[in-house]
Amino acid sequence: MRILLAGTGSGCGKTTASLLLMAVLKAQGLDVAPCKVGPDYIDPGFHRAVCGRPSYNLDSWIMTEDDVNRALNQRYDIAVIEGVMGYYDGLDSASFRCSTREIAHITRTPVILIADASGGAASVAATVKGFQTLVKDSGIAGVLVNRVSGQRHYDLVREAVERYTDLPCVGYLTKKQSLQFPSRHLGLVPAEETDSLLPRIREAAAEAARTLDTDRILRIASQAPAPEKPRRRMLPNRRGYRLGVAMDEAFHFYYQANLDALRDAGMETVFFSPLRDDALPGNLNGLYIGGGYPEVFAKELSRNLSMRRSIGNALEDGLPCYAECGGLMYLGKDIDGIPMVDFLPLRCRMTDRLQRFGYVTVTDRTGLSFPAHEFHHALAEPLSGAAMAYRVQKASAPEKTWDCGYEKKQTLAAFAHVYFADRPDLTGRFFP
C-alpha cells in the first residue's frame, strides 16, 4: 500500500498532515515507510523520527525513474509520501516536470490532496475541482481538509467537495493541530534540534486519530499497484574502502539512497562528529562531508581545533575527500570571520537571502555532466590559488551559468547537492 499527500500550494500544511498521518498509522501497529518528493533534507529527518526508519527522496530531476521506484521497493505495510510545493508546481507550467504530480505518475501512487479550508467553506470545492480537472488524469483520489475550526466547518466543506467533485474527503485537521515547528533560513529547524519532538507529535496524533478517516485512507492506498521492479544497481565493488562520513547537528544533509549505495558497493561508512570528536577515525580511504548548518555551529566547530587540524593534515597528505555545500564551507578559511579548517582557498559569508536555489546541471573539468540541486544563503569568495572545478547551468533558465566547485589535491568541494546512488562514474570521481 502507498499514498501520496499533495498540497494546493506551499504552506498548506503538508508536513503537519504527513507527520500526523504517519504517527497515527504507526500507532495502529503499521510499519510506515516515509518518502519525500524533491531534494529535501529536513523533512526526511522528521519522518525518520516518527517512523523509526529512513525516509527516501523521490526526485525526477536528480534521479532516474528506475531509482525513484527503487526507493519504494522495500518491505513495509504502507508508504506515505509527502509532496513538495503545490501539486502541479515544477520546472514549467506545460509538462509539470519535476513536480509532485510527476512523481505520482511515475510511481502510480494515489493522491490525497490537502486543502486549506481556513476562511472558506463551499469555495474550497472550487479549488479542489480545479486541481481535479486541470489534467485528464489527475491521480487525485481523495481530499484531506486542513485548518478547519471544527466538525461543523468540516461538514460544510465535505458536503461541497463531495457534491461537486465526487472525491471522498478522508477527514480533517483543525487549526489547533498545527505542529508549529520553529524555522530558520533553510526551512524548519531540523528534528535533531527540536525539543520534545516526539511527545508533541504523538499528542497531536492522538487527536488526529479521531478526525482522520484512516480506514478510507488505507482503502485508497491499497489501490496502488506494486511498484515497478528496478534494475540491479551496477556500482563497482568497493569492498575494503573505509569512508569517513561527517554526521552531527552541523552536517546531516545526506540522501539516504547515496549512503545505501556506498554500503551496497561494499564500502564501510564510518561516522564521526566534527563538533565533538577529537580527530578523524583511523585508516580511512576517503572522506565525505555533506551539507548542513556549519554557519549555525561555526563557533563550536572552530573551537574544536584538534579536529580541524586532523582534517586539514589528512587532506594535505592526499586523503580523497568529497565535500558538499556545508562541507565546502567548513573546509574553507572561515565563515563570517570564524576560523574553519583553512584547507580550501575561499572565505564564506552568510547573506540574508538565497544566493542559489533550484535544479542545475553541472559539468566538471573532465567533461562529466550530471544533475544536481543548489539551495544556500552563503557566498564563497575565492582566494589566491583557487582552482574552479565546475560549470553550473540553471535548469529553469539555461542561459544562466556560473563557475563553482573547488579542487585541491584529492579534494573536490562544491555547493551543488548531488545524487550519485545510480551513477558509478560519480562515485568513482568523488571517492577514488
Residue 369's pLDDT is what?
94
Whether the pLDDT of residue 165 is over 60: the answer is yes
Could you tell me what percent of the chain has a pLDDT over 70? 96
Whether the pLDDT of residue 186 is over 90: the answer is no
* Straight-line distance from the first to the last Cα atom of the chain, in angstroms, rounded to the nearest whole number: 40
Count of Cβ atoms closer than 10 Å to residue 27 Cβ: 15
Cβ proximity of 27 and 248 under 8 Å? no
Q: Which of 30, 216, 57 is nearest to 141 (CA)?
A: 216
Quote the CA–CA distance of 425 and 256 in Å, as a whole number: 19
Cβ proximity of 158 and 187 under 8 Å? no
All three cell numbers of 314, joined, read 589528512
Residue 188's pLDDT is what?
66
Residue 116's pLDDT is what?
94
Quote the CA–CA distance of 375 and 204 in Å, as a whole number: 31
Q: Which of 390, 389, 392 is nearest to 374 (CA)?
A: 392
Query: What are the pLDDT digits (tens) for 332-388?
Result: 999 999 999 999 999 999 888 777 888 999 999 888 999 999 987 888 898 887 788
Whether the pLDDT of residue 189 is over 90: the answer is no
Cβ proximity of 398 and 373 under 8 Å? no
Quote the CA–CA distance of 18 and 173 in Å, as a whole number: 11
Domain 2-221 matches domain 242-430 at the CATH topology level: yes
Whether the pLDDT of residue 121 is over 60: the answer is yes
Q: Which residues contact residue 215 at a Cβ distance below 8 angstroms, ignoring those fewer than 6 apart?
A: none
One-letter identity of residue 112: I
Least confident of 98-112, 113-127, 165-179: 165-179
Count of Cβ atoms closer than 10 Å to residue 94 Cβ: 7
DSSP string, 110-176: -EEEEEE-TT-STHHHHHHHHHHHSSS---EEEEEEEEESSHHHHHHHHHHHHHHH-PPEEEEEEGG
Cβ proximity of 83 and 5 under 8 Å? yes
Write phi, then psi, for 5 (nearest 5 degrees): -100, 110
Task: Identify the band that residue 181 occupies on the pLDDT scale cut at 50, 70 and 90.
Answer: low
State how far the alpha carbon of 402 is from the alpha carbons of 97, 251, 389, 429, in Å: 23, 25, 11, 21
404 annotated active-site: no
- Provide CATH code, domain 2-221: 3.40.50.300
| 326-330: average pLDDT | 96
All three cell numbers of 229, joined, read 521492479
Sign of CA dihedral 139, 52, 330, 371: negative
Residue 193's pLDDT is what?
67
Helix (H) or strand (E) holding 105: helix 100-107
Strand order in the sheet with 78-86: 56-58, 32-37, 78-86, 2-7, 111-116, 140-148, 169-174
- The model carries a pTM of 0.93
Query: What 3-state DSSP class applies to 290?
Result: coil
Q: Which CATH fold topology does 242-430 show? A: Rossmann fold (3.40.50)
Residue 184's pLDDT is what?
54
Q: Which of 413, 425, 388 is nearest to 315 (CA)?
A: 413
Task: Please report, for the chain, the start and end positions of each structural domain, with discontinuous segments joined by +.
Answer: 2-221, 242-430
Query: What are the pLDDT digits (tens) for 30-77?
Result: 999 999 999 989 899 999 999 999 999 999 999 999 899 989 988 999
Residue 222's pLDDT is what?
97
One-letter identity of residue 371: P
Quote the CA–CA distance of 315 and 255 in Å, as a whole number: 24
One-letter identity of residue 260: D
All three cell numbers of 10, joined, read 506551499
- Considering 51, 325, 348, 404, which one is annotated as catalytic? 325
| 84-102: average pLDDT | 91
Residue 388's pLDDT is what?
86
- Indicate the pairing of strand 356-364 with strand 369-376: antiparallel
Query: What are the pLDDT digits (tens) for 223-269?
Result: 999 888 877 777 788 899 999 999 999 999 999 999 999 999 999 99
Whether the pLDDT of residue 178 is over 70: the answer is no
